[in-house]
Amino acid sequence: MANPLQEQLIKAGLASKQQVHNAKKDKNKQKKQQGSKKLKVDETKLKAQQAAKEKAERDRELNKRKEEEARKKAISAEINDLIIKNALKRSDDYEIAYNFEHRGKVKRIYINEELKQRIINGELGIARIEGRYELVPKLIAEKIQQRNEKRIVLFTEEEKREDENDPYAEFKIPDDLTW
């Protein structure tokens, strides 16, 4: 026995060899458990660090989305402001129903003959605001189109070009035809 205290206890009769052996065994078990606890603590630290990294990544992603949504809202508010300030006044007694296509659906607004000619000539654009359509000057329509092309309908010269292979090219559709 390497421990003089244990030898003295055995000689004094206060402890037996079996008790000393059990004490050594318990001491060795505790040392082993402390070593495994360190490994567990290290694993726990690693897991905590990994979780912190993942949370930080999720937070960054969430912040990006929030910033993108805020940017879109700001653009939408700017577009609404442009439309409200520059929309041409239309009266409720306009009789000409002007049909146009927007995002795959046929829409209708009521206008007069002068506004119809200005739309056909490409001087006006049709802008969507809060579910309704308003007429805006071409310059404003182009600004809106730069910010969000889904909110504007522009009639340009490109749309007026005729197809050379069109078999019905000689049969012109009158401008005053309504459908």
Same domain, 100 and 67: no
Instruction: Give pLDDT tens digits for 90-123.
Output: 877 888 888 888 878 888 888 888 888 888 888 8
Instruction: Give pLDDT tens digits for 18-33.
Output: 887 888 888 888 877 7
Those residues whose C-beta lies under 8 Å from the C-beta of residue 130, and which sit 6 or more positions away, are 80
Residues 133, 106: Cα–Cα separation, whole Å: 12
- Residue 60: the pLDDT is 94
Same domain, 79 and 118: no
Same domain, 5 and 80: yes
Average pLDDT in the chain: 80
Same domain, 81 and 120: no
Helix (H, G, I), strand (E, B) or coil at 145: helix
- Residue 38: the pLDDT is 64
Q: Which residues pair with 152 in a beta bridge?
A: 127
Contact call for residues 74 and 81 (beta carbons, < 8 A): no
Domain carrying residue 32: 1-86
Q: Considering 49, 65, 86, which residue would you say is the last residue of a domain?
A: 86
Residue 64 has pLDDT above 70, yes or no: yes
**Considering the domain boundaries, does residue 178 fall inside one?**
no
The mean per-residue pLDDT over the stretch 55-73 comes to 94
Length of the chain: 179
Same domain, 79 and 120: no
The number of domains in the chain is 2
Same domain, 77 and 14: yes
**Locus of tokens 């458990």:** 33
